[in-house]
């Protein structure tokens, strides 16, 4: 076997070579001129990492670091023990998606996901109920000051008392529909166009995640800057 040394992989520590049967180690050292060890150096840098390159850990270091990445720390402060969440930001989307099955994780930063992961599991006992949806909204959004869910959309069209977009439907009931009125306060950085779009996308994603799959939701968002209406349908589609 001939290995062209056109590149310079990381020098091998010999750990992978040492794991091979003695016949291969002996042949490489006596006849191969260390070519097999040189070839294995590339795999060592990927799997085992490089001692001199702490910024590029191998899989061995990553696996060994999992307890610290996902764990918690307790430190003593003024004689009292303080619990600290040591979970790294990089792992929070994975934990939210895989450990607690929170599908809309992409809409939230790591700090918010920590709060959601810590509080969502007890809510699952009420999943599919109005109480679950309202509690999840409070868990996910500081901007939401109040939310009301109406399960029975009835009354039909009443001349002189109908409100456009709310009670102008012909008929007495609307099967598998519910209305959600959400009141929001001031956004942390103001209700700019981008902030409104990000909040609305996250809100619709959470409603779609929390509502029963066969239902559709008429969503009313009441904000200081105005009011807008969206529909979250049973097939997951949403009105623009």
Residue 139 has a pLDDT of 94
pLDDT above 80 (res 132): yes
Average pLDDT of span 41-53: 72
Mean pLDDT (the chain) is 74
61 vs 148: which has the higher pLDDT: 148
| DSSP secondary structure letters along 5-53 | -SS-PPPP-SHHHHTS-HHHHHHHHHTSTTHHHHHHHHHHHHHT--TT-
- Two tokens at 116? 């959601």
Torsion of CA 114, 119, 124, 125, to 10 degrees: 160
| Dihedral (CA of 197, 183, 189, 115) sign | negative
Residue 152 has a pLDDT of 64
The pLDDT-based confidence of 39 (bands split at 50, 70, 90) is: confident
In this structure, of 59-63, 106-110, 135-139, the range with the lowest mean pLDDT score is 59-63
Residue 81 has a pLDDT of 44
pLDDT above 50 (res 135): yes
Direct distance between the N- and C-terminal alpha carbons of the chain, in angstroms, rounded to an integer: 63
Rounded Cα–Cα distance for residues 51 and 13 (Å): 10
- Taking every pair of C-alpha atoms in the chain, what is the biggest distance, in angstroms? 99
Residue 138 has a pLDDT of 92
Domain-wise residue ranges, the chain: 15-64, 142-240
- Two tokens at 185? 């306060």
Average pLDDT of span 33-50: 79
Q: Which residues contact 135 (CB under 8 A, 6 or more apart)?
A: 123, 126
pLDDT above 70 (res 145): yes
Residue 10 has a pLDDT of 52
Average pLDDT of span 37-66: 72
Q: Which residues contact 63 (CB under 8 A, 6 or more apart)?
A: none
Rounded Cα–Cα distance for residues 50 and 47 (Å): 9
Q: Write out the H or E segment, with its range, that includes residue 92.
A: helix 92-94
Asked if 186 and 225 count as a contact pair (C-beta separation under 8 A), the reply is no
Average pLDDT of span 118-126: 92
- Two tokens at 142? 């500081």
191-236: pLDDT as tens digits = 677 888 888 899 999 999 998 888 888 888 887 766 666 655 555 4
Average pLDDT of span 75-89: 53
For the beta sheet containing 144-150, the strands, ordered from the edge strand earlier in sequence to the opposite edge, are: 144-150, 177-184, 216-223, 226-232
Q: Is 80 helix (H, G, I), strand (E, B) or coil?
A: strand
Q: Please state, in angstroms and as integers, the Cα–Cα distance from residue 9 to each residue in 12, 27, 35, 61, following that order.
A: 8, 21, 12, 19
Rounded Cα–Cα distance for residues 185 and 143 (Å): 5
Residue 154 has a pLDDT of 52
Rounded Cα–Cα distance for residues 120 and 209 (Å): 13
């Amino acid at each position: 076997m001939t290995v062209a040394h056109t590149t310079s992989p990381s020098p091998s520590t010999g750990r992978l070579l040492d794991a091979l049967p003695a016949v291969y180690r002996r042949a490489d050292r006596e006849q191969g001129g260390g070519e097999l060890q040189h070839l294995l150096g590339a795999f060592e840098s990927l799997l085992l990492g490089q001692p001199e390159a702490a910024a590029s850990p191998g899989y061995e270091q990553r696996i060994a670091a999992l307890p610290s990445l996902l764990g918690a720390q307790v430190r003593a402060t003024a004689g009292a023990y303080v619990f600290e969440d040591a979970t790294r930001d990089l792992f929070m989307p994975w934990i939210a998606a895989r450990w607690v099955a929170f599908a809309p994780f992409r809409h939230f930063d790591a700090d918010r996901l920590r709060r959601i992961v810590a509080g969502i599991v007890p809510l699952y006992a009420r999943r599919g109920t109005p109480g679950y949806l309202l509690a999840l909204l409070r868990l996910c959004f500081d901007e939401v000051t109040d939310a009301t869910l109406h399960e029975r959309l009835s009354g039909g069209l009443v001349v002189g008392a109908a409100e456009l977009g709310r009670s102008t439907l012909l008929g007495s009931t609307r099967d598998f529909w519910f209305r959600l009125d959400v009141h929001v306060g001031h956004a942390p950085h103001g209700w700019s166009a981008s902030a409104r779009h990000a909040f609305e996308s996250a809100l619709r994603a959470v409603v779609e995640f929390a509502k029963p799959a066969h239902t559709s939701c008429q969503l009313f968002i009441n904000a200081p800057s105005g009011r807008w209406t969206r529909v979250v349908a049973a097939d997951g589609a949403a009105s623009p």
